[in-house]
Structure 1
């Protein structure tokens, strides 16, 4: 963890610095820097950067939250209408069918993505990726499959 923090702290400097080296001192502590100590064997560290996926992840999270809110709102509206009206109007039935078809397509796409992906992850409270183990991945796939069956079957 300390190494990851150290590398993360050095990443912004990399644009201005030349080479970054990694070495271990006599006490066994790992060090990083642009000038290694002369009496140790240092190896050059190659740092690769890639663009952040935070914007895409935030957008998908917002879509999911919006879908959850709209589902909750429609469920509340349905409960109120059931108490007041004898049955749904044809327009309401069409809207429900559209929503069900949209969710069916969404969960089918998620399931296909999960099946094709080698690794799945979720974001923790700090916005960092936490990769799922095999059992968690299978549970997520099973849950998504049950949602596909729920929304795609008549």
Structure 2
């Protein structure tokens, strides 16, 4: 029984050594390519990729890849959240600008339609502007509207 186990071990070792033998390539006189595990004059050693991974190394590589994908996924999710936040801010700013434009346009339209323009004094009394002051007020209202709405409006 011991001899059978020893013989099996030796045969297994011999088989595994053969699996890792060098491979040689040569071309015969008729132009055919041959491969062998024994050197023949004129043959070349062929590089054989023998990279075999252990299950632990394969598992480690898979875990590293999953970790990399998780980090990438988290980064993409954060970028999408940042983009949503930036879009919300842009929408809020656009609403505020639209409201400012509307108010400036209303002020300008009131200044144009009004025959006489007045200011309310500290004591609450109306102080009517002269024609020159009214024209200056209208120009100021126009400039404020252009600044708030842009020159196209």
TM-score bracket, shorter-length normalisation: 0.3 to 0.5
Larger Rg: 2
TM-score normalized by structure 1? 0.41
Q: Where is the helix percentage greater, Structure 1 or Structure 2?
A: 2
